[in-house]
Structure 1
Protein backbone atom coordinates (compact mmCIF):
# COMPACT_ATOMS: atom_id res chain seq x y z
CA UNK A 1 0.00 0.00 0.00
CA UNK A 2 1.12 3.55 -0.68
CA UNK A 3 1.95 5.68 2.36
CA UNK A 4 -0.86 8.04 3.42
CA UNK A 5 1.53 10.99 3.46
CA UNK A 6 4.42 11.80 1.17
CA UNK A 7 7.16 14.38 1.42
CA UNK A 8 8.78 15.88 -1.65
CA UNK A 9 11.22 18.72 -2.21
CA UNK A 10 11.30 21.24 -5.03
CA UNK A 11 14.40 23.31 -4.44
CA UNK A 12 13.92 25.29 -1.21
CA UNK A 13 10.25 24.28 -0.89
CA UNK A 14 9.11 21.10 0.86
CA UNK A 15 5.67 19.73 -0.05
CA UNK A 16 3.80 17.40 2.29
CA UNK A 17 0.81 15.73 0.64
CA UNK A 18 -1.95 13.68 2.26
CA UNK A 19 -2.95 10.89 -0.09
CA UNK A 20 -5.10 8.25 1.58
CA UNK A 21 -8.21 7.91 -0.58
CA UNK A 22 -11.05 8.39 -0.50
CA UNK A 23 -11.23 10.63 2.58
CA UNK A 24 -7.67 11.13 3.90
CA UNK A 25 -8.87 9.97 7.31
CA UNK A 26 -6.67 10.28 10.37
CA UNK A 27 -6.19 6.71 11.47
CA UNK A 28 -3.13 5.31 13.24
CA UNK A 29 -1.21 4.96 9.98
CA UNK A 30 -1.86 8.59 9.05
CA UNK A 31 -0.77 9.83 12.47
CA UNK A 32 2.36 7.66 12.39
CA UNK A 33 3.22 9.10 8.97
CA UNK A 34 2.72 12.66 10.20
CA UNK A 35 4.92 12.02 13.22
CA UNK A 36 7.70 10.58 11.06
CA UNK A 37 7.61 13.24 8.33
CA UNK A 38 7.41 16.17 10.74
CA UNK A 39 10.38 14.73 12.65
CA UNK A 40 12.29 14.58 9.36
CA UNK A 41 11.39 18.19 8.59
CA UNK A 42 12.44 19.26 12.08
CA UNK A 43 15.82 17.60 11.64
CA UNK A 44 16.38 19.13 8.19
CA UNK A 45 14.11 22.16 7.77
CA UNK A 46 13.33 23.51 4.30
CA UNK A 47 13.04 27.22 3.59
CA UNK A 48 9.25 26.86 3.42
CA UNK A 49 6.70 24.05 3.72
CA UNK A 50 3.45 23.58 1.78
CA UNK A 51 0.93 21.12 3.23
CA UNK A 52 -1.74 19.96 0.78
CA UNK A 53 -3.94 17.00 -0.06
CA UNK A 54 -4.83 14.90 -3.07
CA UNK A 55 -8.38 13.76 -3.64
CA UNK A 56 -11.90 15.12 -3.47
CA UNK A 57 -11.56 16.29 0.13
CA UNK A 58 -8.62 17.51 2.16
CA UNK A 59 -9.67 15.27 5.04
CA UNK A 60 -12.87 14.00 6.60
CA UNK A 61 -11.07 14.08 9.93
CA UNK A 62 -10.43 11.39 12.50
CA UNK A 63 -11.45 7.82 11.72
CA UNK A 64 -14.17 7.21 14.35
CA UNK A 65 -12.81 3.71 14.90
CA UNK A 66 -9.88 5.36 16.67
CA UNK A 67 -12.24 6.53 19.41
CA UNK A 68 -13.81 3.11 19.67
CA UNK A 69 -10.42 1.40 19.97
CA UNK A 70 -8.69 3.79 22.37
CA UNK A 71 -8.14 2.32 25.82
CA UNK A 72 -9.29 4.93 28.39
CA UNK A 73 -6.21 4.14 30.45
CA UNK A 74 -4.01 5.15 27.52
CA UNK A 75 -6.06 8.13 26.30
CA UNK A 76 -3.92 10.82 27.91
CA UNK A 77 -0.67 9.55 26.41
CA UNK A 78 -2.37 8.90 23.06
CA UNK A 79 -3.64 12.47 22.69
CA UNK A 80 -0.44 13.97 24.08
CA UNK A 81 1.37 12.22 21.23
CA UNK A 82 -0.98 13.65 18.62
CA UNK A 83 -0.76 17.13 20.14
CA UNK A 84 3.02 16.97 19.84
CA UNK A 85 2.60 16.69 16.05
CA UNK A 86 0.77 20.03 15.98
CA UNK A 87 3.37 21.53 18.27
CA UNK A 88 6.19 20.27 16.04
CA UNK A 89 4.56 21.75 12.93
CA UNK A 90 4.15 25.05 14.74
CA UNK A 91 7.80 24.99 15.87
CA UNK A 92 9.29 24.44 12.41
CA UNK A 93 11.77 27.26 11.77
CA UNK A 94 10.37 28.14 8.36
CA UNK A 95 7.13 29.55 6.90
CA UNK A 96 4.40 26.91 6.75
CA UNK A 97 1.37 27.09 4.45
CA UNK A 98 -1.69 24.82 4.62
CA UNK A 99 -3.66 24.60 1.36
CA UNK A 100 -7.31 23.55 1.64
CA UNK A 101 -9.16 22.99 -1.61
CA UNK A 102 -12.28 21.45 -0.05
CA UNK A 103 -13.64 19.85 3.14
CA UNK A 104 -11.16 20.04 6.03
CA UNK A 105 -12.31 18.51 9.31
CA UNK A 106 -11.01 17.90 12.83
CA UNK A 107 -7.38 16.74 12.90
CA UNK A 108 -6.60 18.24 9.49
CA UNK A 109 -8.10 21.59 10.49
CA UNK A 110 -6.13 21.48 13.73
CA UNK A 111 -2.91 20.95 11.79
CA UNK A 112 -3.86 23.82 9.48
CA UNK A 113 -4.21 26.03 12.55
CA UNK A 114 -0.69 25.02 13.61
CA UNK A 115 0.64 26.46 10.33
CA UNK A 116 1.65 30.07 9.82
CA UNK A 117 -0.72 30.66 6.92
CA UNK A 118 -3.86 29.02 5.54
CA UNK A 119 -4.97 29.38 1.91
CA UNK A 120 -8.20 27.95 0.56
CA UNK A 121 -10.87 28.06 -2.10
CA UNK A 122 -13.77 30.34 -1.06
CA UNK A 123 -16.15 27.37 -0.83
CA UNK A 124 -13.82 25.05 1.10
CA UNK A 125 -15.50 24.07 4.37
CA UNK A 126 -13.81 23.72 7.74
CA UNK A 127 -15.09 22.18 10.94
CA UNK A 128 -14.16 20.97 14.38
CA UNK A 129 -17.03 18.54 14.69
CA UNK A 130 -15.89 16.41 17.64
CA UNK A 131 -19.12 17.19 19.49
CA UNK A 132 -20.75 14.53 17.30
CA UNK A 133 -18.90 11.93 19.34
CA UNK A 134 -19.11 13.91 22.61
CA UNK A 135 -15.44 14.89 22.35
CA UNK A 136 -13.40 18.08 22.00
CA UNK A 137 -10.55 18.88 19.59
CA UNK A 138 -7.41 17.40 21.13
CA UNK A 139 -4.61 18.36 18.74
CA UNK A 140 -4.63 21.99 19.84
CA UNK A 141 -7.19 23.36 17.41
CA UNK A 142 -9.43 25.15 19.89
CA UNK A 143 -6.71 27.28 21.43
CA UNK A 144 -5.08 28.05 18.09
CA UNK A 145 -8.43 29.07 16.66
CA UNK A 146 -8.88 31.35 19.69
CA UNK A 147 -5.50 32.93 18.91
CA UNK A 148 -6.62 33.76 15.39
CA UNK A 149 -10.29 34.59 15.79
CA UNK A 150 -10.84 35.15 19.51
CA UNK A 151 -12.29 32.92 22.25
CA UNK A 152 -15.94 33.59 21.41
CA UNK A 153 -15.50 32.39 17.83
CA UNK A 154 -13.53 29.35 19.03
CA UNK A 155 -16.32 28.40 21.44
CA UNK A 156 -18.93 28.93 18.72
CA UNK A 157 -17.20 26.77 16.14
CA UNK A 158 -16.37 23.92 18.53
CA UNK A 159 -19.59 23.91 20.55
CA UNK A 160 -21.92 24.07 17.54
CA UNK A 161 -19.86 21.66 15.44
CA UNK A 162 -21.01 23.61 12.38
CA UNK A 163 -19.12 23.83 9.10
CA UNK A 164 -17.80 27.21 8.00
CA UNK A 165 -16.78 28.26 4.52
CA UNK A 166 -13.29 29.60 3.96
CA UNK A 167 -14.78 32.91 2.85
CA UNK A 168 -16.27 33.31 6.34
CA UNK A 169 -13.07 32.22 8.06
CA UNK A 170 -11.15 34.75 5.97
CA UNK A 171 -13.35 37.47 7.46
CA UNK A 172 -12.47 36.12 10.92
CA UNK A 173 -8.74 36.22 10.21
CA UNK A 174 -8.36 32.43 10.23
CA UNK A 175 -7.79 31.96 6.48
CA UNK A 176 -5.16 34.24 4.97
CA UNK A 177 -5.85 34.03 1.23
CA UNK A 178 -8.57 32.76 -1.09
CA UNK A 179 -7.76 31.35 -4.54
CA UNK A 180 -10.05 30.36 -7.40
CA UNK A 181 -10.81 26.62 -7.47
CA UNK A 182 -9.81 26.25 -11.11
CA UNK A 183 -6.17 27.07 -10.47
CA UNK A 184 -6.06 26.47 -6.75
CA UNK A 185 -3.17 24.02 -6.43
CA UNK A 186 -0.95 26.07 -8.72
CA UNK A 187 -1.78 29.28 -6.87
CA UNK A 188 -1.14 27.69 -3.47
CA UNK A 189 2.19 26.35 -4.67
CA UNK A 190 3.21 29.73 -6.09
CA UNK A 191 2.27 31.36 -2.79
CA UNK A 192 4.52 28.93 -0.88
CA UNK A 193 7.31 29.15 -3.46
CA UNK A 194 7.41 32.91 -3.04
CA UNK A 195 8.08 32.40 0.67
CA UNK A 196 10.68 29.69 0.04
CA UNK A 197 12.63 31.75 -2.48
CA UNK A 198 12.33 34.99 -0.54
CA UNK A 199 14.29 36.21 2.50
CA UNK A 200 13.50 33.04 4.40
CA UNK A 201 15.88 33.77 7.30
CA UNK A 202 13.98 37.01 7.87
CA UNK A 203 10.70 35.06 7.71
CA UNK A 204 12.01 32.75 10.44
CA UNK A 205 12.89 35.80 12.51
CA UNK A 206 9.34 37.10 12.05
CA UNK A 207 7.98 33.76 13.30
CA UNK A 208 10.13 34.03 16.41
CA UNK A 209 8.93 37.56 17.17
CA UNK A 210 5.26 36.65 16.70
CA UNK A 211 5.68 33.59 18.92
CA UNK A 212 7.31 35.70 21.62
CA UNK A 213 4.37 38.10 21.42
CA UNK A 214 1.84 35.28 21.71
CA UNK A 215 3.68 33.78 24.65
CA UNK A 216 4.30 36.99 26.58
CA UNK A 217 2.84 40.00 24.83
CA UNK A 218 4.68 43.07 23.52
CA UNK A 219 7.28 43.05 26.34
CA UNK A 220 8.35 39.49 25.48
CA UNK A 221 8.62 40.33 21.77
CA UNK A 222 10.56 43.49 22.57
CA UNK A 223 12.96 41.47 24.71
CA UNK A 224 14.03 39.18 21.84
CA UNK A 225 13.92 41.74 19.03
CA UNK A 226 17.41 43.29 19.33
CA UNK A 227 19.10 39.88 19.28
CA UNK A 228 16.93 38.75 16.37
CA UNK A 229 17.77 41.90 14.41
CA UNK A 230 21.47 41.51 15.14
CA UNK A 231 21.45 37.97 13.75
CA UNK A 232 19.77 39.17 10.55
CA UNK A 233 22.37 41.90 10.06
CA UNK A 234 25.01 39.19 9.79
CA UNK A 235 23.21 37.13 7.12
CA UNK A 236 24.26 36.94 3.48
CA UNK A 237 20.71 37.68 2.36
CA UNK A 238 20.52 40.93 4.30
CA UNK A 239 23.87 42.19 3.11
CA UNK A 240 23.09 41.28 -0.51
CA UNK A 241 19.64 42.89 -0.39
CA UNK A 242 20.99 46.13 1.10
CA UNK A 243 23.68 46.34 -1.58
CA UNK A 244 21.16 45.61 -4.33
CA UNK A 245 18.74 48.20 -2.98
CA UNK A 246 21.47 50.85 -2.99
CA UNK A 247 22.54 50.03 -6.54
CA UNK A 248 19.24 49.09 -8.19
CA UNK A 249 16.53 50.59 -6.00
CA UNK A 250 13.58 49.02 -4.12
CA UNK A 251 12.59 46.79 -7.06
CA UNK A 252 15.93 44.96 -7.03
CA UNK A 253 15.98 41.28 -8.01
CA UNK A 254 18.17 39.78 -5.33
CA UNK A 255 18.44 35.99 -5.28
CA UNK A 256 18.15 34.89 -1.68
CA UNK A 257 20.11 31.86 -0.50
CA UNK A 258 18.60 31.35 2.96
CA UNK A 259 21.80 32.25 4.83
Structure 2
Protein backbone atom coordinates (compact mmCIF):
# COMPACT_ATOMS: atom_id res chain seq x y z
CA UNK A 1 0.00 0.00 0.00
CA UNK A 2 1.35 3.46 -0.91
CA UNK A 3 2.18 5.57 2.12
CA UNK A 4 0.12 8.74 2.54
CA UNK A 5 2.12 11.87 1.66
CA UNK A 6 -0.28 14.64 2.72
CA UNK A 7 -2.77 15.19 5.53
CA UNK A 8 -6.11 16.90 4.93
CA UNK A 9 -8.54 18.30 7.49
CA UNK A 10 -11.69 20.25 6.67
CA UNK A 11 -13.56 22.16 9.36
CA UNK A 12 -15.53 25.40 9.58
CA UNK A 13 -15.25 26.09 5.83
CA UNK A 14 -11.44 25.78 5.94
CA UNK A 15 -9.44 23.00 4.27
CA UNK A 16 -6.03 22.49 5.91
CA UNK A 17 -3.54 20.61 3.75
CA UNK A 18 -0.21 19.52 5.21
CA UNK A 19 2.63 18.17 3.10
CA UNK A 20 3.58 15.13 5.14
CA UNK A 21 6.96 13.65 4.20
CA UNK A 22 8.96 15.27 7.01
CA UNK A 23 11.81 12.76 6.73
CA UNK A 24 12.44 14.13 3.21
CA UNK A 25 11.65 17.78 4.00
CA UNK A 26 8.32 17.28 2.22
CA UNK A 27 10.01 17.01 -1.16
CA UNK A 28 7.68 16.05 -3.99
CA UNK A 29 7.24 12.62 -5.49
CA UNK A 30 4.74 11.61 -8.14
CA UNK A 31 2.52 10.18 -5.39
CA UNK A 32 2.55 13.46 -3.46
CA UNK A 33 1.65 15.39 -6.59
CA UNK A 34 -1.28 13.06 -7.23
CA UNK A 35 -2.54 13.31 -3.64
CA UNK A 36 -2.19 17.09 -3.50
CA UNK A 37 -3.89 17.55 -6.87
CA UNK A 38 -6.82 15.43 -5.71
CA UNK A 39 -7.10 17.31 -2.41
CA UNK A 40 -7.06 20.71 -4.10
CA UNK A 41 -9.59 19.54 -6.68
CA UNK A 42 -11.93 18.39 -3.90
CA UNK A 43 -11.47 21.65 -2.00
CA UNK A 44 -12.23 23.71 -5.09
CA UNK A 45 -15.35 21.68 -5.93
CA UNK A 46 -16.72 21.66 -2.36
CA UNK A 47 -18.98 24.69 -1.85
CA UNK A 48 -18.60 24.31 1.91
CA UNK A 49 -14.85 24.94 1.63
CA UNK A 50 -14.20 28.67 1.33
CA UNK A 51 -10.45 28.89 1.98
CA UNK A 52 -7.37 26.66 1.96
CA UNK A 53 -4.35 26.60 4.28
CA UNK A 54 -1.20 24.90 2.96
CA UNK A 55 1.77 24.04 5.19
CA UNK A 56 4.39 21.38 5.80
CA UNK A 57 5.03 18.83 8.54
CA UNK A 58 8.24 18.75 10.52
CA UNK A 59 11.14 21.18 10.21
CA UNK A 60 10.59 22.32 6.63
CA UNK A 61 7.83 23.49 4.33
CA UNK A 62 9.02 21.87 1.09
CA UNK A 63 12.43 21.09 -0.41
CA UNK A 64 11.04 20.97 -3.96
CA UNK A 65 11.48 17.86 -6.05
CA UNK A 66 12.67 14.60 -4.49
CA UNK A 67 15.76 14.11 -6.62
CA UNK A 68 15.79 10.36 -6.02
CA UNK A 69 13.02 10.26 -8.65
CA UNK A 70 15.03 12.37 -11.08
CA UNK A 71 18.37 10.57 -11.20
CA UNK A 72 19.93 10.09 -14.61
CA UNK A 73 20.08 6.49 -15.78
CA UNK A 74 23.38 4.62 -15.19
CA UNK A 75 24.01 4.53 -18.94
CA UNK A 76 23.87 8.32 -19.05
CA UNK A 77 20.43 8.55 -20.64
CA UNK A 78 18.99 12.02 -20.05
CA UNK A 79 16.00 12.64 -17.79
CA UNK A 80 13.13 14.62 -19.33
CA UNK A 81 12.55 17.25 -16.65
CA UNK A 82 10.13 19.08 -18.92
CA UNK A 83 7.71 16.17 -18.74
CA UNK A 84 7.57 16.54 -14.96
CA UNK A 85 6.78 20.24 -15.33
CA UNK A 86 3.97 19.53 -17.78
CA UNK A 87 2.55 16.66 -15.78
CA UNK A 88 2.85 17.94 -12.23
CA UNK A 89 4.24 21.38 -11.44
CA UNK A 90 2.55 23.56 -14.04
CA UNK A 91 -0.93 22.18 -13.21
CA UNK A 92 -0.25 22.67 -9.48
CA UNK A 93 0.76 26.31 -9.90
CA UNK A 94 -2.20 26.93 -12.20
CA UNK A 95 -4.63 25.43 -9.69
CA UNK A 96 -3.28 27.42 -6.74
CA UNK A 97 -3.33 30.72 -8.61
CA UNK A 98 -6.74 30.30 -10.24
CA UNK A 99 -8.68 28.58 -7.45
CA UNK A 100 -11.69 30.82 -6.71
CA UNK A 101 -10.95 30.67 -3.00
CA UNK A 102 -8.15 32.28 -0.96
CA UNK A 103 -5.08 30.09 -0.36
CA UNK A 104 -2.85 30.86 2.64
CA UNK A 105 0.61 29.31 2.90
CA UNK A 106 2.33 28.83 6.27
CA UNK A 107 6.06 28.34 5.62
CA UNK A 108 7.25 26.53 8.72
CA UNK A 109 10.89 26.03 7.72
CA UNK A 110 13.01 25.82 4.62
CA UNK A 111 11.36 26.31 1.24
CA UNK A 112 13.74 25.27 -1.51
CA UNK A 113 13.60 24.85 -5.27
CA UNK A 114 10.04 24.38 -6.46
CA UNK A 115 8.98 24.67 -2.82
CA UNK A 116 9.62 28.42 -3.13
CA UNK A 117 7.48 28.69 -6.26
CA UNK A 118 4.67 26.69 -4.66
CA UNK A 119 4.64 28.96 -1.62
CA UNK A 120 4.64 32.10 -3.78
CA UNK A 121 1.78 30.73 -5.88
CA UNK A 122 -0.44 30.95 -2.80
CA UNK A 123 -2.32 34.20 -2.19
CA UNK A 124 -0.92 35.11 1.24
CA UNK A 125 2.34 33.74 2.66
CA UNK A 126 3.13 33.80 6.38
CA UNK A 127 6.55 32.48 7.39
CA UNK A 128 8.16 31.40 10.63
CA UNK A 129 11.11 33.56 11.64
CA UNK A 130 13.44 30.58 11.16
CA UNK A 131 12.19 29.94 7.61
CA UNK A 132 14.55 30.24 4.67
CA UNK A 133 13.81 30.58 0.95
CA UNK A 134 16.42 28.96 -1.29
CA UNK A 135 16.40 28.97 -5.08
CA UNK A 136 18.60 25.91 -5.33
CA UNK A 137 18.19 25.38 -9.08
CA UNK A 138 21.52 27.05 -9.94
CA UNK A 139 23.39 24.40 -7.96
CA UNK A 140 21.99 21.77 -10.31
CA UNK A 141 22.50 23.72 -13.52
CA UNK A 142 18.77 24.44 -13.86
CA UNK A 143 16.42 27.43 -13.97
CA UNK A 144 13.78 28.43 -11.38
CA UNK A 145 10.70 26.56 -12.55
CA UNK A 146 7.05 26.34 -11.53
CA UNK A 147 6.63 30.00 -12.41
CA UNK A 148 9.75 31.09 -10.54
CA UNK A 149 11.22 33.17 -13.37
CA UNK A 150 7.86 34.92 -13.82
CA UNK A 151 6.94 35.74 -10.24
CA UNK A 152 10.35 36.60 -8.75
CA UNK A 153 11.12 39.78 -10.73
CA UNK A 154 7.54 40.93 -10.29
CA UNK A 155 7.82 40.64 -6.51
CA UNK A 156 11.39 41.74 -5.80
CA UNK A 157 12.64 43.36 -9.02
CA UNK A 158 15.10 42.14 -11.62
CA UNK A 159 18.29 42.82 -9.65
CA UNK A 160 17.29 40.75 -6.64
CA UNK A 161 15.62 38.08 -8.78
CA UNK A 162 18.80 37.55 -10.79
CA UNK A 163 21.01 37.47 -7.71
CA UNK A 164 18.76 35.00 -5.91
CA UNK A 165 18.44 32.74 -8.94
CA UNK A 166 22.10 32.79 -9.95
CA UNK A 167 23.66 32.37 -6.50
CA UNK A 168 21.14 30.14 -4.77
CA UNK A 169 21.89 31.99 -1.53
CA UNK A 170 19.20 31.59 1.15
CA UNK A 171 16.86 34.45 2.00
CA UNK A 172 15.72 34.88 5.58
CA UNK A 173 12.04 35.27 6.39
CA UNK A 174 12.67 38.84 7.57
CA UNK A 175 14.33 39.78 4.27
CA UNK A 176 11.60 38.01 2.32
CA UNK A 177 9.02 40.17 4.06
CA UNK A 178 11.08 43.35 3.69
CA UNK A 179 11.54 42.76 -0.03
CA UNK A 180 7.85 42.02 -0.64
CA UNK A 181 8.39 38.32 -1.35
CA UNK A 182 5.93 37.32 1.40
CA UNK A 183 3.27 38.99 3.53
CA UNK A 184 4.34 38.41 7.12
CA UNK A 185 7.00 36.93 9.40
CA UNK A 186 6.11 35.68 12.87
CA UNK A 187 7.84 33.85 15.69
CA UNK A 188 8.03 30.11 15.06
CA UNK A 189 5.71 29.24 17.93
CA UNK A 190 3.10 31.71 16.65
CA UNK A 191 3.00 30.50 13.05
CA UNK A 192 0.22 27.89 13.37
CA UNK A 193 -2.01 30.28 15.28
CA UNK A 194 -1.42 33.34 13.11
CA UNK A 195 -1.73 31.53 9.79
CA UNK A 196 -4.68 29.50 11.04
CA UNK A 197 -6.54 32.57 12.27
CA UNK A 198 -5.94 34.37 8.96
CA UNK A 199 -7.16 31.41 6.92
CA UNK A 200 -10.18 30.97 9.20
CA UNK A 201 -11.05 34.64 8.79
CA UNK A 202 -10.94 34.32 5.01
CA UNK A 203 -13.00 31.10 5.18
CA UNK A 204 -15.88 33.01 6.77
CA UNK A 205 -15.57 36.06 4.53
CA UNK A 206 -17.38 37.06 1.32
CA UNK A 207 -16.10 34.22 -0.86
CA UNK A 208 -17.32 35.57 -4.20
CA UNK A 209 -15.69 38.91 -3.52
CA UNK A 210 -12.44 37.20 -2.50
CA UNK A 211 -12.46 35.13 -5.69
CA UNK A 212 -13.06 38.17 -7.89
CA UNK A 213 -10.36 40.19 -6.11
CA UNK A 214 -7.88 37.34 -6.50
CA UNK A 215 -8.66 36.97 -10.21
CA UNK A 216 -8.43 40.69 -10.96
CA UNK A 217 -5.16 41.26 -9.11
CA UNK A 218 -3.50 38.15 -10.52
CA UNK A 219 -4.53 38.99 -14.08
CA UNK A 220 -3.66 42.68 -13.93
CA UNK A 221 -0.14 42.19 -15.36
CA UNK A 222 -1.59 41.76 -18.85
CA UNK A 223 -4.07 44.66 -18.75
CA UNK A 224 -3.99 48.37 -19.42
CA UNK A 225 -5.65 50.74 -16.94
CA UNK A 226 -8.70 51.27 -19.20
CA UNK A 227 -9.12 47.50 -19.46
CA UNK A 228 -8.84 47.13 -15.69
CA UNK A 229 -11.51 49.78 -15.14
CA UNK A 230 -13.94 47.88 -17.36
CA UNK A 231 -13.23 44.54 -15.68
CA UNK A 232 -13.59 46.08 -12.21
CA UNK A 233 -16.94 47.54 -13.27
CA UNK A 234 -18.14 44.16 -14.48
CA UNK A 235 -17.05 42.47 -11.26
CA UNK A 236 -18.76 45.11 -9.12
CA UNK A 237 -21.96 44.73 -11.14
CA UNK A 238 -22.01 40.97 -10.55
CA UNK A 239 -21.01 41.16 -6.89
CA UNK A 240 -23.63 43.82 -6.20
CA UNK A 241 -26.25 41.13 -6.82
CA UNK A 242 -24.73 38.71 -4.29
CA UNK A 243 -26.15 37.75 -0.93
CA UNK A 244 -22.82 38.58 0.70
CA UNK A 245 -23.00 42.18 -0.51
CA UNK A 246 -26.50 42.55 0.89
CA UNK A 247 -25.36 41.06 4.18
CA UNK A 248 -22.29 43.30 4.30
CA UNK A 249 -24.36 46.45 3.83
CA UNK A 250 -26.96 45.33 6.37
CA UNK A 251 -24.28 44.53 8.93
CA UNK A 252 -22.62 47.92 8.39
CA UNK A 253 -25.92 49.77 8.87
CA UNK A 254 -26.87 47.64 11.88
CA UNK A 255 -23.37 48.03 13.39
CA UNK A 256 -22.87 44.29 13.79
CA UNK A 257 -20.45 41.65 12.52
CA UNK A 258 -21.47 40.34 9.08
CA UNK A 259 -22.50 36.71 8.64
CA UNK A 260 -21.34 35.85 5.14
CA UNK A 261 -22.42 32.66 3.40
CA UNK A 262 -20.19 32.77 0.34
CA UNK A 263 -23.12 33.36 -1.99
**TM above 0.5:** yes
Residue in 2 that maps onto 1:30: 32
1:99 Cα deviation after fit? 0.4
1:167 Cα deviation after fit? 0.4
Contact 1:130 1:158 in 2 (8 A): yes
1:246 Cα deviation after fit? 1.6
1:57 and 2:34 matched:
no
| Residue from 76, 81, 101 that aligns with 2:82 | 76
User: Counterpart of 1:93 in 2: which secondary structure?
Assistant: coil
Contact 1:143 1:154 in 2 (8 A): no
Residue in 2 that maps onto 1:243: 250
Distance (Å, rounded) in 2 between the aligned partners of 1:69 and 1:234: 56
User: Counterpart of 1:85 in 2: which secondary structure?
Assistant: helix
User: Counterpart of 2:39 in 1: which secondary structure?
Assistant: helix
User: Counterpart of 1:198 in 2: which secondary structure?
Assistant: coil
- Higher deviation after alignment, 136-145 or 96-105: 136-145
Contact 1:210 1:221 in 2 (8 A): no
Distance (Å, rounded) in 2 between the aligned partners of 1:38 and 1:72: 32
Let me know the Cα RMSD of the aligned residues.
1.9
Contact 2:85 2:146 in 1 (8 A): yes
Residue in 2 that maps onto 1:6: 7
User: Counterpart of 1:9 in 2: which secondary structure?
Assistant: strand
User: Counterpart of 2:61 in 1: which secondary structure?
Assistant: coil
1:183 Cα deviation after fit? 2.2
TM-score by length of 2: 0.90
TM-score by length of 1: 0.92
Contact 2:126 2:191 in 1 (8 A): no
Contact 2:70 2:79 in 1 (8 A): no
1:181-200 residue pairs with structure 2 within 5 A? 181-200=188-207
Distance (Å, rounded) in 2 between the aligned partners of 1:191 and 1:242: 23
User: Counterpart of 1:32 in 2: which secondary structure?
Assistant: helix
Unmatched segments (≥5 aa) in structure 2: none
Residue in 1 that maps onto 2:69: 66
Distance (Å, rounded) in 2 between the aligned partners of 1:130 and 1:217: 34
Distance (Å, rounded) in 2 between the aligned partners of 1:231 and 1:75: 42
CA distances 1:124-173 after superposition (whole Å, capped 9, x unpaired): 10111011111112211221122222222221111110110110010111
Residue in 1 that maps onto 2:223: 216
